[in-house]
Structure 1
């Protein structure tokens, strides 16, 4: 039976943080058994693959085809830090977050839990949106502004903003805008940009929140497009796991990857049905027309093969955010024919 848990209590978050410390000290969480799969997802259309997988019970379908009953649970979190804590403390098997948090965990767990990527959730442009009329580029943000991101300094939005800052001011000032960044979940940050009147004047988000901001606040404008920073379409949000899960649960792992592949094809071929699934599974009141427009945007691609991720990892190494330098996709993604062709 598939279950879904929404929200995270402070007590459980404390347990996750404690688990992170323990796992770092003693080599990681216990191995999950075949047939158990707990998946962390966050907010936004970038997690549509998981919405479709859940709604269509595709993991269970592929598990049965392999002779295995898989118990699937979905956990709603916000921010790469919380997701990474959950993975290392053994509360989940699959983490869904930005490629920045993946590189951070890949680097810190080398030789221990050996966290690597499982698949991409697709290519989506991420926009840094502002409602401040004085801000035309990131150079115009001042100490009076606050930029909302899922997790300051470590989320993929923060990492892309750091990369943009390094290109503008040099590597020594790559974290210049971290000091005016604040950690706010996407729904709350979008509400602040749309309504105005708060200290939050910028939000580096993802679909559909960035699209809602642009549609509902005539003063809102795009300051930065992630594709421009990363040099083209890129898989900014990915799924990753520990080596223990990858090796100990091969049937569950491959059922999950096959389910994702099916979901990607389903969304591409049935965008309106996919939109209906998103609205239903997220209990969303988003305009269906706006959602369908996002899903069918030529800049958006649903696929499991990661694209244009290596450059961000090499930047993070260059500025000292991670110690190890990723040189090829196989360094930080587990092996699979659909993944090894990525970049």
Structure 2
């Protein structure tokens, strides 16, 4: 045999073997990643009683329970991240599987990832009103707010409270003027804003609050309510939601199903025994709130710890009309994964 021909054949064989080995290694690696991913989930929540359903899921190990029913041992990682921006960055970078935030921030990331990561909502964490409060006796309604007032919100111009106020402002003054009160809005965490409002004497004369802070503030005679998010949305409406990427949903069907079923069970547990649920919140969150206040909030008839979305489409429709969202949703089902579609959401 010609040596040059033999060498060529050997080189060709070596090249093919290397390619095969590389491909095999890559496939094994991918297989390992997929197997690990299907049995694990990382979930982030923020602070507050709006995350009670997750506290119950965590306390009673419900994801692990429903995973075992499917023959799957699920490793659950719980994280706490403050703010929707940091939450969304962690989700889109792949450092997090499930994020949680208000409806408007979720819709913003759904809007911006369409055709790419395709982020969608998993479930509601409950319907809960947020109150716009004031310590200014002259301010009885939103229309009474002036340049002399300062409205404290967690994320001025972009957060749940600001978007809700923008929708109300558009109703009062027209779509072109929906940012009217952005100029007097100040970004301030709820605890600091609540303290400033109650104490008085600072530039903060209004606070678009949330539970439990609004209940604490209203115990003081100098603070009164001028608007509820329920007034803006036409009734009980979802406050916080859970959401994930299309990839996590599609690549981990058993883990996702176990998580969704765990949420559904936790919702029923809360409704069946609200006093016990209040105790769970205090224990899991290591809360310093009085048990009486937490129980009062959990039992408030305005609050419904349901995973069924309520009036989220009001945000989707209004924010698209205002130009905040580029994409138009035809219904709430456009930005929720299919598992939630069996419920009579909105």
Task: Name the count of aligned residue pairs.
Answer: 313
Report if the CA contact (8 A) 1:146-1:181 is conserved: yes
1:114-263 mapped onto 2 (5 Å cutoff): 114-215=118-219, 217-263=220-266
Report if the CA contact (8 A) 1:81-1:155 is conserved: no
1:293-312 mapped onto 2 (5 Å cutoff): 293-312=296-315
C-alpha distance in structure 1 between counterparts of 2:168 and 2:331, whole Å: 23
Report if the CA contact (8 A) 1:234-1:308 is conserved: yes
C-alpha distance in structure 2 between counterparts of 1:76 and 1:205, whole Å: 20
C-alpha distance in structure 1 between counterparts of 2:333 and 2:340, whole Å: 11
| Gap regions ≥5 residues in structure 2 | 1-32
Is the radius of gyration larger for structure 1 or structure 2? 2
Tell me the CA shift for residue 146 of structure 1: 2.3
Please report the TM-score for the alignment, with normalisation by the length of structure 1. 0.87
C-alpha distance in structure 2 between counterparts of 1:38 and 1:130, whole Å: 39
Tell me the CA shift for residue 48 of structure 1: 0.6
Q: Secondary structure at the match of 2:37?
A: coil
Q: Secondary structure at the match of 1:33?
A: helix
37-46 vs 155-164, which deviates more? 37-46
CA deviation profile, 1:6-52 (whole Å, cap 9, x unmatched): xxxxxxxxxxxxxxxxxxxxxxxx99812222212112211111111
1:314-325 mapped onto 2 (5 Å cutoff): 314-325=317-328
137-146 vs 204-213, which deviates more? 137-146
Tell me the CA shift for residue 338 of structure 1: 5.7
Aligned position for 1:275: 278
Aligned position for 2:61: 57
C-alpha distance in structure 2 between counterparts of 1:90 and 1:198, whole Å: 41
1:342 to 1:181, Cα distance in 2 relative to 1, 3 A = same
C-alpha distance in structure 2 between counterparts of 1:85 and 1:146, whole Å: 29
Report if the CA contact (8 A) 1:81-1:154 is conserved: no
Aligned position for 2:17: none
132-141 vs 202-211, which deviates more? 132-141
C-alpha distance in structure 2 between counterparts of 1:200 and 1:44, whole Å: 22
1:191 to 1:273, Cα distance in 2 relative to 1, 3 A = same
Tell me the CA shift for residue 115 of structure 1: 0.5
CA deviation profile, 1:162-219 (whole Å, cap 9, x unmatched): 001111111111111112222222222222223333322222122111111112x211
C-alpha distance in structure 2 between counterparts of 1:298 and 1:341, whole Å: 20
Report if the CA contact (8 A) 2:128-2:239 is conserved: yes
Q: Secondary structure at the match of 1:200?
A: coil
Which structure has the highest helix share of the two? 2
1:269 to 1:338, Cα distance in 2 relative to 1, 3 A = farther
256-265 vs 197-206, which deviates more? 197-206
